[in-house]
Copies of this chain bind each other. A is one copy, B any other.
Amino acid sequence: MVTIKDVAREAKVSVATVSRALNGSADVTPATRARIERAAARLRYVPMGAARSLVTRRTQAIGALLPDLFGEFFSELIRGIDLAARTHGLHLLVSSSHGDADEAAVALRAMQGRVDGVLIMSPHVDAAFLRKHLADSIPAVLLDSPPREPRRPHVNIDNQGGARAMTQYLLALGHRKIAFIEGPEGNRDARERRRGFEQTIAAHDGAGARYLKGDYSEESGYRAGRALLAGRKLPDAVFAANDMMAIGCLSALNEAGVQVPDQIALAGFDDIPIARYTHPPLTTVHVQIAQLGHAALERLVAQMQTLDTPEADVTTMPCEVVVRASCGSRSKTSGSGKAVQIRKLQ
Contact, CB under 8 Å: A97 / B79: yes
Residues of B within 8 A of A48 (CB): 54, 113
Check if A47 is an interface residue, CB within 8 A of chain B. Answer: yes
Check if A335 is an interface residue, CB within 8 A of chain B. Answer: yes
Contact, CB under 8 Å: B222 / A338: yes
Contact, CB under 8 Å: A344 / B74: no
Interface of A, helix, strand, loop or mixed by DSSP = mixed
Residues of B within 8 A of A76 (CB): 71
Contact, CB under 8 Å: B50 / A342: no
Taking a contact as CB atoms closer than 8 A, the residue among B52, B70, B341 that contacts A341 in the complex is B341
The stretch among A163-171, A180-188, A245-253 that forms the contact with chain B is A245-253
Check if A13 is an interface residue, CB within 8 A of chain B. Answer: no
Contact, CB under 8 Å: B82 / A74: no
Mask: chain A, 100-134; 1 = CB below 8 Å from B; 0 = not: 00000001011111100000000000000000000
Residues of B within 8 A of A69 (CB): 75
Bound: A107/B345 CA distance, A: 42
Check if A279 is an interface residue, CB within 8 A of chain B. Answer: yes
Check if A263 is an interface residue, CB within 8 A of chain B. Answer: no
Bound: A75/B72 CA distance, A: 8
Check if A232 is an interface residue, CB within 8 A of chain B. Answer: no
- Report A209 CB to chain B, min CB distance, Å: 25
Check if A334 is an interface residue, CB within 8 A of chain B. Answer: yes
Bound: A61/B63 CA distance, A: 12
Check if A274 is an interface residue, CB within 8 A of chain B. Answer: yes
Bound: A343/B278 CA distance, A: 5
